[in-house]
Amino acid sequence: MKLPTILSAILVAASSVSGIALKVGAPSTAPGIVEKTYIINFPPGTDGTGAVKDYFKSLNVNYTERVSINTNLGSFVSVNVPGTFDQNAHLPGVPGAISFSNVRELKRPELQALTSNEPPQLELIHSITGVNDARNYLGLTGKGVKVAVIDTGVYYLHPALGGGFGPGFKVANGYDFVGDNWHYTNPPQPDNDPLDNCSEESHGTHVAGIVAGDARNITDPSWAPTFAFSGAAPEATIYAYRVFSCSGSASNDIITAAILRAAADGADIISLSLGGGPSYADEPQAIAASLVSQAGHFVISAAGNDGAAGPFVTGNPSNARSGLSIASFDNVATPAPYVTVDGVKSAYSLGSLSTVKFTEGQLLDVVVNNLLADVNNVQDDGVKPLVANVKGKAALIRFGNDALGGSQVRCGSAYAAGATACILYSVDDTLGGIYGSPNIPSLLITNSAAKALIADVTAGKPAQVIVSQKQFLNPIPTAGTLSSFSSPGLDNELWFKPDLGGIGGQVYSTISPHAAKASGLKENYAVYSGTSMATPYVSGVGALILQAQGKIQLSEFRARLQNTASLKPVYGTNVTHNPSYQGAGLVNAFTAASIKTLVVPSAIALNDTVNLKTVSFTITNKYKFSQNYYLNNNPAATVNAVLPGDDFTQDYTTTTFTGSTPASLQFSGDDGYGSPAWDFKLVRVPAGKSVTVSFKVTPPETDPSLYAVYGGYISIVNDYDDNVITVPYAGVSGDWKNRPVWSRKSPSLGQKWLSQLVPSYKSTSTGLYKDLSFTPLAANSVINGTVGAFALAIPAITSRFATIKVEFQGLDLSELKKLGITGNSAYVNLYDLVNGGAAAGYFPLLQRTTFSNGQSVSANTVYGWDGTAVLPDLQTVVQLPAGSYKVIFSALKNFGDVNKAADFDVLTTPVFNLVY
């Protein structure tokens, strides 16, 4: 059956029950893989270009070289091979090569916010991270330290970034790996100039400003910022490496090359505000990050912005074992425009569609549409025609459920009723952007401000609002706590990630003139949010540490950052946040640069219950006298990301944190006072010496099938200084290896995802289905390839390798052989009916899904199947003959060996009869 016909039939069936239009797209390869493109690795110091050239010539195969690099830390060549090419048969034969892998796409970093005129106050952002103290008391500015920024390039002509490029300038070195017009599937167009004045977000320029920008003394009005600011290390030197073109994605071969090049150029710190993909540490860019970090070029990478997807989603290269993965914490305050109600100032958001503007100090007489809307939690206030007489006045409307009617609808009602202004108020004191009405001025105010207006009306007083475009210092309610978008760990092998955090929520920094114009900003500065911002902040702090301490080992660098980080609670509670979310905590520059007690390892991954062992750490006393150290256990919140009776990993809306079921800890030996130790211990360490301490953790008493992530912090204090050293630990309760990969039972999948596509369904289990009722397939059911069938392939967790195969159940294999199928099975050919496109049932890495799309974690999808299969070349699609078949979903378990059948999670459909 031909593709257009079968998909038309499937879409007709889908349209009868689905409220969302399903899509048809051209066939594609596995998600994230750059088709027919490979990285071939050689021993460090080996020039692989010649070996690759001679080898492909001997095969009589044409290829295109993308990038090659040869350093004393790593060497590889990436190539594109058009046409039919069996990578598994040929690439292992390249002389001198030690391994090969697929080239993968890495998407452009997604910013969580873009605003102007809401920058954080300089003193506040640096005061909660110890940067101000490091400057004022230690004289640290990052001078002499080289920080590489691997990103979209840098607009180094910005005066806050030195105004030039090359020796003697702030941006002293760098390279453009890609050029202005590069697409990640094509050969790059490198040059020696990393300037970016073409990207619309100016991501790399913003990042560079957070590391080392300095706009405190700029007087030129075309460059002067609204608020003077400086980066964390304003005298550090920037090396800029461009791996993204003006638009679009990058690829892991380019990023890996940039990491190796930055190390070869002598960068002390390598900052990467990018990443994504499955949470494993053996992707090429993560391997390179570990190699160069171990050699003294410390790699600091963004954990990612997939916090909405729930745990286990830190991206690469931040999962590098020897690299640092950075979480994001929210800033303290931002100057913001304000309204005044009864003499009290509060922030507001202006409607972006409003062509009619408020004048400075404009006084608005307010009429409340529904005085009881807030008390009664009315969600649709203003969606229908207004009940109050608002003619000639400002209408106050509760902005409830956006799905029932957005700001345009509600302010449209105000305009239709003759209001001269539309004032929406939020259900709490958080503010977001609104569209409003194009016909009257529109704004969104806080719930507190609205309550004051409602109280005035109730008391018989005039309800009035004064609108100002000036700014006041508006506290951020979530100040100093983990940003909601920050990607949690642990990684998929339960290593400790993220490592620590920096300020990434609402950070003011430099952008290019092109980006400012594209975004409609009046200055070459902007406020962005993301772990992309937290990462350069920690990189800047790293520069302060290296200025203070000089060349140090990786273990000491990590310890200084992690031992001294500040622990933060789960927002709205007094329970310490889980280490898999905040890592060691929020960076503390002053203590990190000056501490004289170090604990290594500085974070401890406990693995799962099956692999739980006694672990140890070493305390080193760098004082010139002996010290008594007092050790205590401080449990943190336990994360429950799997619900009872549900095997799918939950997102942020249903993941819960509890302090009532902590892990317990017992130190080995006595407590220092002659009694057996429990969760307290006294250790005496001589001057300049080290002492090792062992302990064992007992996981919390939770259902092991829920795979709770638990953890805590060992606090260490001494008699001499006020510093509190902490060592985070984290693990998973249960048998992680035997957690099923394929989702089989998940009520939440139906409630939060499938019901949005198909209102009536019988099952959400991974499997094959005859129709969109998703009724489980009965044995010997008939699947009509002409009509089409449906499949759900839902990974509850990420897997290193997975396949979906269709297996013939008959004895006569002659028809299959004619099609090019070896044996009795082939990869199933699936059509993605939600996103478009098609893919073979072959997944070199299978990323877990979630309920709605994130930056690196995609939503689940519904597949269509028309009886076709894909040959081992992963390109040739064949129509299977009618007969008896079953579909086999197979995925490698956590910690599994790909060569052991028992290490796969296998789900098999009942035998069915394929007809046409």
The total of other beta-carbon atoms located within 10 Å of residue 438's CB is 16
* 621 and 651 inside one domain: yes
Who wins on pLDDT, 837 or 893?
Answer: 893
Q: Rg of the chain's alpha carbons, rounded to an integer?
A: 29
Is residue 489 located within the same domain as residue 471? no
Q: pLDDT category, 331, cuts 50, 70, 90?
A: confident
**Strand duo 146-151 + 237-242: pairing:** parallel
- Same domain membership, residue 879 and residue 787: yes
Q: Is the pLDDT of residue 372 over 50?
A: yes
The position carrying tokens 């092109």 is 514
> Residue 31: its pLDDT value, please?
53
pLDDT digits (tens, 9 = 90+) for 806-829: 999 999 999 999 999 999 999 999
Q: By C-alpha distance, which of 457, 376, 467, 469 is closest to 422?
A: 467
Q: Are 731 and 783 part of one and the same domain?
A: no
Q: How far apart are CA 785 and CA 787, in angstroms?
A: 5
Domain boundary among 709, 738, 767: 738
Instruction: Give the model's pLDDT for residue 124.
Output: 65
Residue 551: closest CA among 268, 150, 910, 835: 268
- CATH code (residue 79): 3.30.70.260
Output the pLDDT for position 115: 46
Task: Indicate if 495 and 389 belong to the same structural domain.
Answer: no
The string of DSSP codes covering 282-310 is TSHHHHHHHHHHHTT-EEEEE--S-GGG-
- pLDDT over 80 at 88, yes or no: no
Residue that wins the pLDDT comparison between 32 and 908: 908
CB 156 within 8 A of CB 237: no
Mean pLDDT over the full length of the chain = 91
How many residues belong to the chain?
916
Q: Do 143 and 43 share a domain, yes or no? A: no
At residue 220 the predicted structure's pLDDT band, cuts being 50, 70 and 90, is very high
pLDDT bin (cut points 50, 70, 90) of residue 874 is confident
What CATH number is associated with residue 394?
3.50.30.30
Confidence band of 112 (pLDDT split at 50, 70, 90): low
Q: How would residue 896 be classed by pLDDT, with cut points 50, 70 and 90?
A: very high
**Of 103, 219, 206, 120, whose CA–CA distance to 155 is shortest?**
206
Mean pLDDT of 84-107: 85
pLDDT of residue 27: 30
CATH code for the domain in which residue 642 is found? 2.60.40.10
Task: Specify the 3-state DSSP secondary structure of 47.
Answer: coil
Query: Any idea which residues carry the catalytic annotation?
Result: 151, 203, 532
Q: Is residue 381 part of a domain?
A: yes
pLDDT at 332 over 80: no
Better pLDDT: 376 or 355: 376
Write down the pLDDT at residue 5: 43
pLDDT score of 1: 31
Identify the pLDDT of residue 520: 85
Return the minimum-mean-pLDDT range out of 170-174, 478-482, 483-487: 478-482
pLDDT, residue 83, reads: 79
- Find the domain containing 624 and state its range: 596-738
% of the chain residues with pLDDT over 90: 76
What is the spatial distance between Cα 753 and Cα 671, in angstroms, rounded to a whole number?
Answer: 52
The verdict on 180 and 75 lying in the same domain is no
Q: Which of 475, 508, 525 is the last residue of a domain?
A: 475
Average pLDDT over residues 350-370: 90
Asked whether residue 233 is domain-assigned, the answer is yes
pLDDT of residue 12: 45
Structural domains counted in the chain: 5
Q: pLDDT at position 102, please?
A: 87
- Strands 597-600, 615-621: pairing is antiparallel
User: Do both 87 and 119 map to the same domain?
Assistant: no
Question: What's the pLDDT tens digit per position in 680-715?
Answer: 999 999 999 999 999 999 999 889 999 999 999 999
Q: Which of 457, 475, 493 is the last residue of a domain?
A: 475
> Would you call 263 exposed, middle or buried from its count of C-beta atoms within 10 A (0-12, 13-18, 19+)?
buried
486 lies in some domain: yes
Residue type at 97? A
What's the confidence (pLDDT) of residue 839?
A: 83
Let me know whether 237 and 318 are in one domain.
Answer: yes
Q: Is residue 590 in a domain?
A: no
- 488 with 467, same domain: the answer is no
How large is the average pLDDT for residues 254-262?
Answer: 97
Shared domain for 685 and 834, answered yes or no, is no
102 in any annotated domain: yes
Residues 632, 719: one domain?
yes
pLDDT of residue 449: 96
Q: Is residue 242 part of a domain?
A: yes
782 assigned to some structural domain: yes
CA angle 137, 142, 146 (to 5 degrees): 165
Strand ranges of the sheet holding 64-70, from the earlier edge strand across to the other edge:
64-70, 75-80, 33-42, 99-106, 250-251
pLDDT tens-digit series, residues 739-794: 999 999 999 999 999 988 888 899 999 999 999 999 999 999 999 999 999 999 99
What does the alpha-carbon distance between residue 619 and residue 528 come to, in Å, rounded to a whole number?
39
- Could you give the 3-state DSSP secondary structure of residue 492? coil
Give residue 836's pLDDT: 86
Q: pLDDT at residue 173 above 50? A: yes
**In CATH, what number is assigned to the domain containing residue 213?**
3.40.50.200
DSSP-based three-state secondary structure for 242: strand
Is residue 576 one of the residues assigned to a domain?
Answer: no
In the predicted structure, residue 127 carries a pLDDT above the cut 70: yes
Which residue is listed with tokens 């809307």?
373
Span 825-848, pLDDT tens digits: 999 999 999 888 888 999 988 989
